[in-house]
């Protein structure tokens, strides 16, 4: 039998005391919750149900429909639907968890209510530069997802026996989506050990993947086609970018989540290690949402932070631009030459690594007994 080592946290005892002494708990994801936010919040919610604790997942706004199959998804309460009820929930709780974000600006008006709340706040997150708003902080930027971090916390709290098929499904969802289906550099041997443990609970990992990535609506496919039609390859920078304008979003009856993951298609181009997608806000004429993805060591989070008021992880980040997608792209093309050396250096490193691996594979096949 293999016994995996798990992380040990200095604050575990304090966290356990807070949970033991609380009966009315609120769990909050960031605005526009993704798979990691949905998965981590619902996994924690299901744990509290097993502990006979009352808990509510209070999301700032709705999550994409393609997460609606997730266990307990129908129990999520949306702040945007009734802010007064949301405020009442916060004021009456005795413990607040904020998951998959580390800055109250990420939850809009809900952040102002939490700031005034008398309850203790616990932050569980894997992004860089956490703000100091929580009473207890679990922050691990080197971990690929909040769900992976949450699993480690469950282990440190001796909750392993509580992790059933539903909780494992939620955790797997977050790990899978936030690691780019286990492609990003944040994926470690420990990540796979955790996934192996989750699979022992007989989760349907292929179904989870297909529900997220292969269950598209017609509008999503139309929007994907629009983005790919607008794809531009900057060969000298090992970079690609695409955009979706407001006209196409309206023409194809855009629904929340329809553009999620499209940016990754740019990385499938040969010799591309950095990709961006610019998406105009369908409700705001002067707002462009931008997603960045990279391969290897090129820090797209720093690129986002330095040029587009954003941030995130080394291989996956986001930003915003005030204006049109056309103006945002003009700015992108203006600053990308400043990163040419890093991009080309990273491209060569990846190429050399690929050649070495193929050569090693050839030798193993040729000379192995």
pLDDT on residue 354: 43
DSSP string, 24-80: EEEEE--SS--HHHHHHHHHHHHHHHHTT-EEEEEESSPPPGGGTTSTTGGG-EEGG
Positive or negative torsion for Cα 31, 33, 39, 45: positive
Question: pLDDT tens-digit profile of 277-291?
Answer: 999 998 888 899 999
Q: Which pLDDT value is given to residue 256?
A: 84
Residues 148 and 253 in one domain: no
> At residue 350, does pLDDT exceed 60?
no
Q: How many C-alpha atoms does 214 have within 13 Å on its Cβ side?
A: 5
pLDDT interval class at 368 (50, 70, 90): very low
pLDDT number for residue 237 = 95
Mean pLDDT of 345-361: 49
What's the pLDDT score for residue 347? 60
Q: Cβ distance 36 to 106 under 8 Å? A: no
State whether 242 and 141 are in the same domain: no
- Given a cut of 60, is residue 69 above it in pLDDT? yes
Q: Would residue 278 count as lying in a domain? A: yes
> Does some domain include residue 148?
yes
364 lies in some domain: no
CATH number at residue 318: 3.10.310.30
CA-CA distance, 251 to 282, in Å (whole number)? Answer: 11
Mind listing the pLDDT tens digit for each residue in 262-273? 999 999 999 999
Residue 301 backbone class (left: φ over 0; alpha: ψ -120 to 50; beta: rest): alpha
Say yes or no to pLDDT of 101 above 50: yes
Phi, psi of 26 (to 5 degrees): -115, 135
Query: Residues 49, 24: one domain?
Result: yes
358 assigned to some structural domain: no
CATH code for the domain in which residue 157 is found: 3.90.1640.10
**Secondary structure (3-state) at 157:** coil
Q: Which domain holds residue 133?
A: 12-212
Mean pLDDT across the chain: 90
Regarding whether 298 and 195 lie in a shared domain, the answer is no
Residue 361 has pLDDT above 80, yes or no: no
Residue 114 lies in a domain: yes
Does residue 315 carry a pLDDT above 50? yes
Task: Give the DSSP letter of residue 163.
Answer: -
**Residue 228 pLDDT > 50, yes or no?**
yes
Task: Domain count for the chain, please give it.
Answer: 2
Residue 204 has pLDDT above 70, yes or no: yes
Ranges 100-109, 150-159, 178-187, 318-327: which has the least confidence: 178-187
Residues 6+ apart with CB under 8 A from 66: 211, 212, 215, 257
Is 7 contained in some domain?
no
- Greatest Cα pair distance, the chain, in angstroms, is 71
Give the pLDDT confidence score for residue 215 in this predicted structure.
Answer: 85
137 and 27 together in one domain: yes
* 151-to-6, 141, 338 alpha-carbon distances in Å: 9, 15, 40
199 plus 54 within the same structural domain: yes
Work out the burial of residue 357: count CB atoms within 10 Å of its CB; fewer than 13 is exposed, 13-18 middle, 19 or more buried.
exposed
Per-residue pLDDT, 71: 98
Of the two residues 233 and 286, the one the predictor is more confident about is 233
Is the domain of 19 the same as that of 165? yes
- At 313 the pLDDT is 86
Residue 348 scores a pLDDT above 90: no
Closest CA to 317 of 290, 286, 295: 290
pLDDT score recorded for residue 326: 95
Residue 367 domain-assigned (yes or no): no
What was the pLDDT predicted at 223?
Answer: 95
Task: Identify the burial level of 170 via C-beta atoms within 10 angstroms of its C-beta, where 0-12 means exposed, 13-18 middle and 19 or more buried.
Answer: buried
DSSP sequence for 308-351: SS-EE-SSEEEEEESS-HHHHHHHHHHHGGGGHHHHHHHHHHHH
Domain boundary among 197, 212, 227: 212
Taking 90 as the threshold, does the pLDDT of residue 194 lie above it? yes
Q: Give the pLDDT confidence score for residue 363 in this predicted structure.
A: 41
Bridge partners of 280, per DSSP, are 288
- Mean pLDDT computed over 107-117: 94
Of the candidates 157, 178, 212, which is a domain's last residue? 212
In this structure, are 187 and 225 located in the same domain? no
Tell which phi-psi region holds residue 260, choosing left (phi > 0), alpha (psi between -120 and 50) or beta: beta
User: In the predicted model, is pLDDT for residue 48 greater than 90?
Assistant: yes
d(CA 229, CA 343): 24
Please check whether residue 343 lies inside any domain of the structure.
yes
Task: State whether 312 and 327 are in the same domain.
Answer: yes
Which one of 183, 212, 241 terminates a domain? Answer: 212
Distance from C-alpha of 323 to C-alpha of 201, rounded to nearest angstrom: 48
Give the pLDDT band (50/70/90) at residue 356.
very low
The full length of the chain comes to 369
d(CA 340, CA 22): 53
Alpha carbons within 13 angstroms on the beta-carbon side of residue 340 total 9
Residues 86 and 183 in one domain: yes
What pLDDT was estimated at residue 365?
A: 43
Please give the residue that has the higher pLDDT: either 1 or 301. Answer: 301
**For residue 94, what is the DSSP state?**
S
Q: In terms of domains, do 167 and 97 share one?
A: yes
- Both 75 and 150 in one domain: the answer is yes
pLDDT of 2 > 70? The answer is no
pTM summary value: 0.83
């Amino acid at each position: 039998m293999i016994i995996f080592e798990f992380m040990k946290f200095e604050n575990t005892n304090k966290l356990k005391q807070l949970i033991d002494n609380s009966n009315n708990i609120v769990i909050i994801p960031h605005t526009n919750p993704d798979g990691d936010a949905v998965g981590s919040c619902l996994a924690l919610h299901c744990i509290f149900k097993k502990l006979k604790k009352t808990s509510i997942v209070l999301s700032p706004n709705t999550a994409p429909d393609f997460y609606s199959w997730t266990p307990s998804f129908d129990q999520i309460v949306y702040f945007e639907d009734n802010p007064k009820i949301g405020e009442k929930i916060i004021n009456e709780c005795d413990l607040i968890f904020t998951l998959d974000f580390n800055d109250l600006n990420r939850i809009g008006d809900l952040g102002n209510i939490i700031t005034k709340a008398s309850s203790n706040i616990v932050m569980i997150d894997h992004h860089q530069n956490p703000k100091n708003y929580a009473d207890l902080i679990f922050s691990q930027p080197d971990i690929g997802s909040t769900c992976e971090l949450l699993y480690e916390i469950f282990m440190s709290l001796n909750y392993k026996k509580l992790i059933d098929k539903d909780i494992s499904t939620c955790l797997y969802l977050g790990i899978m989506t936030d690691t780019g289906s286990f492609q990003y550099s944040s994926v470690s041997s420990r990540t796979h050990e955790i996934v192996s443990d989750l699979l022992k609970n007989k989760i349907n990992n292929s179904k989870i993947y297909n529900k997220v990535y292969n269950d598209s609506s017609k509008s999503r496919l139309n929007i994907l086609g629009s983005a790919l039609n607008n794809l531009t390859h900057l060969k000298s920078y090992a970079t690609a970018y695409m955009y979706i304008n407001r006209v196409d979003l309206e023409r194809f009856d855009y629904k929340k989540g329809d553009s999620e993951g499209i940016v990754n298609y740019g990385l499938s181009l040969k010799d591309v290690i950095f990709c961006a997608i610019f998406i105009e806000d369908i409700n705001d004429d002067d707002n462009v949402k931008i997603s960045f993805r990279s391969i290897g060591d090129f820090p797209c989070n720093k690129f986002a932070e330095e040029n587009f008021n954003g941030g995130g992880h080394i291989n996956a980040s986001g930003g915003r631009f005030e204006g049109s997608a056309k103006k945002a792209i003009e700015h992108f093309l203006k600053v990308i030459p400043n990163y040419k050396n890093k991009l080309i250096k990273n491209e060569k490193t990846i190429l050399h690594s690929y050649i070495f691996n193929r050569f090693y594979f050839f030798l193993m096949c040729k000379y192995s007994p």
